[in-house]
Structure 1
Amino acid sequence: MIRQWSNCTTKEIAAIDKERSLVIVPIGATEQHGAHLPVGTDSIILGSLLGELEQRVTFPSHEVLLTPLIPVGKSNEHLDFPGTLTFSTTTMYNMVDDLCGSIRAHGFGKVLLMNSHGGNTDLLNVLSRDLRIKHDMEVYVFDWWFTSFWSDILAKVQQSGEYGVFHACELETSLMLVFRPDLVDMAKAADEFPSPQLTDNRHVSIKGPIVPGWKTQDVSKHGVIGAPTLASAAKGREFIDYAVVKLHEMITEVIGTNYKASLSDEA
């Protein structure tokens, strides 16, 4: 079963078998996405995909709870562009820490932090280890920007180059054309790519191995990194169908993983 934490009563949450449950904490952002997409794009996409997941899949032997989505993240790299809202590193850290502490206080021992904004990634990876130690719980981080999550479907449908899918791009715009087409203005979509100084070096580039500390204005004049002009609703539907299947597979694997117990069981 998969359902929203907010829709449960206190007695229903108390009655859940905590040994056969997973709590997913969705973490988005509110930040500029160029002239053609709304500032809530990251949160809209994440919330909508989880809605699709809730409708289409099930986990027969486990309870999967979705906490309220956190709609603001660490987005200070976008603050030069109007509309961006951000928490500081410290505030974001403490907020997720407090939330997971509350979840643990009710007996849940496994949490998946599901992130849709690249600016949150490094913080959540560091935080996950601290949460494991502080709250004695299993903490998993899923980030679809700096992992291979979209790779298989992008290999089939992506028309843009290496930096064509990054921010307010072919991928995000396609998803928004399905989830909230009323908020997309394709007449204002414009492709934009980082300077070769940050993409074509042998060692120093946005993707490393030596990564500069950058803000969005260092790599984009108008807030876009990628090729939104190549987006389409047809691609968006393919991305959604792919994501639902992939997320179901991944969450099932998280449910079946119990790394806290692994060494003691071997002993």
Structure 2
Amino acid sequence: MIHRLAELSFTQVDALDRDRTVVLFAVSPLEEHGPHLPIGTDLFHAEYFSEELAKRIIEANTGWTVLIGPSLPIGASAFDQAGTLRARARTVRNATLDYGAALARHGFRYILVTNGHAGPRHVVALEEAAAVVSRRYGARMLSLSGPVLWKFLRGKFNDRLEPLLGRPLTEAEREAMRGDAHGGLWETSLLMRVRPTLVDPAYAQLAPARFSLLDALRKNYPLRLGNRMGYIGSPAAASAEFGELARRLLLDVVWDVVRPVFDARDESWQQTSFLYKIPFLRTAFPYWVLVLGVLLAGLLLVQWLR
């Protein structure tokens, strides 16, 4: 069965079989996504996949229960405009960690975090939180976006698109997918499938917005460069057809990540993004730099006093 965690009493929650219960919750910010999409785009996508994954888990595991927990509408590495709820990466990590720990302390072994936001520090913060809870409580907590989102945006699953689409991609479609990252073809199409009434029809008149790697080093670059409309990619190329394609592909790919959480007998279920291995994206990096700076200053002082 599928339940809303917030709608149950503590006695109902406590009566659940911990070995056959999965908890899902979303962590994604409210963030600007151009003039054509709502600020809740990432959160709506994450919550949608929580619902769909809950159904798949129940179908694949007879007699299991899925709890869908309340969402956390915060995120790091977000483009900052009116309506954006941007938080420090450390805040995202700690809030997600505390959420997972509260569940794990009471014996829940399977905890899955959904997320529709690909901000690098956000993705890593969720992965850090999941790793700490898993290690500290012996649970299996996993952030599902890490192994999926950046591979998807970088075209690593493109070989699976045409079989799902049932036809070859056109050159125009391939061009529209190039550099698509925020409020463009994919996110606009997916929201057409998930919350169609929230997509402003004016998306069809928006020109492509693409940026160089050098551009991307600037803070809030899609709001400061180009047409300054806050999107990256080609929203005008979006369609309900591509929304269904994204939905099916992402569900299949995420399900490949989820299954080992229940089935693996070793640590192979613990998958992370390539971002997780980049030191300066880790939430503790500023503290490491500070400690290193203090140590170096101490060594210099000792040398000077000699």
TM-score, normalized by the shorter chain, greater than 0.5: yes
Amino acid at match of 2:67: L
How far is 1:19 from its partner? 2.1
Amino acid at match of 1:224: Y
Bigger proportion of residues as helix: 2
Measure, in 1, the Cα distance between the counterparts of 2:68 and 2:265.
20
Structure 1 residues 163 and 126, CA, compared in 2 at 3 Å: closer, same or farther? farther
Worse-matched range after superposition: 130-139 or 34-43: 130-139
Amino acid at match of 1:238: L
How far is 1:214 from its partner? 5.2
The residue number in structure 1 matching 2:229 is: 222
Does the CA-based 8 Å contact 1:78-1:84 persist in structure 2?
A: yes
Does the CA-based 8 Å contact 1:22-1:110 persist in structure 2?
A: yes
State the TM-score, normalizing by the size of structure 1. Answer: 0.78
1:152-191 matches, within 5 Å, as 152=158, 155-156=161-162, 159-161=173-175, 163-189=178-204, 190-191=206-207
Measure, in 2, the Cα distance between the counterparts of 1:136 and 1:261.
15
How far is 1:253 from its partner? 2.8
> What do the CA deviations read for 1:113-143 (whole angstroms, capped 9, x no partner)?
2221112212222333333333343222211
Measure, in 1, the Cα distance between the counterparts of 2:35 and 2:3.
35
> What do the CA deviations read for 1:175-206 (whole angstroms, capped 9, x no partner)?
1112222221132452444433549xxxxxx6
Structure 1 residues 253 and 260, CA, compared in 2 at 3 Å: closer, same or farther? closer
Q: Which has the higher contact order (CA 8 A, sep 6+)?
A: 1
SS at match of 2:151: coil
Amino acid at match of 1:229: A
What percent of counterpart residues are identical?
24
SS at match of 1:24: strand
Does the CA-based 8 Å contact 2:160-2:249 persist in structure 1?
A: no
Does the CA-based 8 Å contact 1:193-1:219 persist in structure 2?
A: no
Does the CA-based 8 Å contact 1:33-1:41 persist in structure 2?
A: yes
Does the CA-based 8 Å contact 2:92-2:126 persist in structure 1?
A: no
SS at match of 2:144: strand
> What do the CA deviations read for 1:52-108 (whole angstroms, capped 9, x no partner)?
444566231533322112222224x411x2221112223222211211121012111
Aligned counterpart for 2:65 among listed residues 63, 66, 77: 63
**2:16 is the alignment partner of 1:6:** no
The residue number in structure 2 matching 1:90 is: 90
Does the CA-based 8 Å contact 1:53-1:244 persist in structure 2?
A: yes
> What do the CA deviations read for 1:12-43 (whole angstroms, capped 9, x no partner)?
22122212332222212200000110101111
Measure, in 2, the Cα distance between the counterparts of 1:18 and 1:34.
42
Does the CA-based 8 Å contact 2:24-2:50 persist in structure 1?
A: no
Amino acid at match of 1:145: L
1:1-267 matches, within 5 Å, as 1-54=1-54, 58=59, 59-75=61-77, 77-79=78-80, 81-119=81-119, 120-143=122-145, 144-148=148-152, 151-152=157-158, 155-156=161-162, 159-161=173-175, 163-189=178-204, 190-198=206-214, 215-217=220-222, 221-259=228-266
Does the CA-based 8 Å contact 1:73-1:87 persist in structure 2?
A: yes
Bigger Rg, which one: 2
Structure 2 unaligned spans of 5+: 270-306
Amino acid at match of 1:195: F
State the TM-score, normalizing by the size of structure 2. Answer: 0.69
SS at match of 1:166: coil
Bigger proportion of residues as strand: 1
Structure 1 residues 108 and 222, CA, compared in 2 at 3 Å: closer, same or farther? same
Does the CA-based 8 Å contact 1:163-1:193 persist in structure 2?
A: no
Structure 1 residues 49 and 141, CA, compared in 2 at 3 Å: closer, same or farther? closer
Does the CA-based 8 Å contact 1:191-1:224 persist in structure 2?
A: no
Does the CA-based 8 Å contact 2:115-2:144 persist in structure 1?
A: yes
SS at match of 2:161: helix
Amino acid at match of 2:241: A
How far is 1:227 from its partner? 1.1
Does the CA-based 8 Å contact 2:180-2:232 persist in structure 1?
A: yes
Does the CA-based 8 Å contact 2:207-2:236 persist in structure 1?
A: yes
